[in-house]
Structure 1
């Protein structure tokens, strides 16, 4: 499977995730896929279990992809996952085999107030001049 085909599959996956289309969202996973959440210490094994874990999650979720980067069998998506209006900055690392995800790790980070000590060194994305 070439990179453009995998990129399209990822775009469909994240669009389906945002739309709450649990069937299309999980088309990207192999039957024996493994999903790890290192921060909570959870591992979910199998496409059906991954799908079920998301079906029973009670929060309203929205997904906004910031960027997708990868090549070959390794792809990373940076996105903002909003649970009930609260954003979490998220990274998904997916490993593909035969065009399907066989392993995924997701990392989550909550927003935080920037340190005043570096205020004169930073810019805020979206506020810079063209």
Structure 2
């Protein structure tokens, strides 16, 4: 699978995530994929367990992809994941093997107010 095909698979994955299509969303994962959430210390093994854990999440989720970059086996997606309207800035690091995601690590960060010590050098992002 070349970079263009992986990028297309990622576009389908994130579109399916936004649509709540759990079957299409998880086609990108290898059967033995591993998903890590370092902030909570959780590791989920296997595509079916990853899909089940996400389907069991009760909140309404919205995905807004900001940037996808990568090449070869390593791809990073920056996106905003909103649970019931509350945004969380998220980074997904996906490692591919044989055209499927073998390992994903996701990091989440809540928004915060800008620090006054940086005000003279900073501008507000849209």
State TM-score, norm by structure 2.
0.99
SS at match of 2:57: coil
- Once the two structures are superposed, the pairs formed by residues 51-70 of structure 1 within 5 Å of their partners are 51-70=51-70
> Residue in 1 aligned with 2:36?
36
> Residue in 1 aligned with 2:18?
18
- Once the two structures are superposed, the pairs formed by residues 106-117 of structure 1 within 5 Å of their partners are 106-117=106-117
State TM-score, norm by structure 1.
0.96
> Residue in 2 aligned with 1:87?
87
Corresponding residue pairs, total: 126
For residue 125 of structure 1, report the CA deviation from its aligned partner.
2.0
> Residue in 2 aligned with 1:96?
96
Q: Runs ≥4 in structure 1, deviation > 6 angstroms? A: none
Q: Deviations over 1:24-48 (max 9, x none)?
A: 0000000000000000000000000
RMSD: 0.5
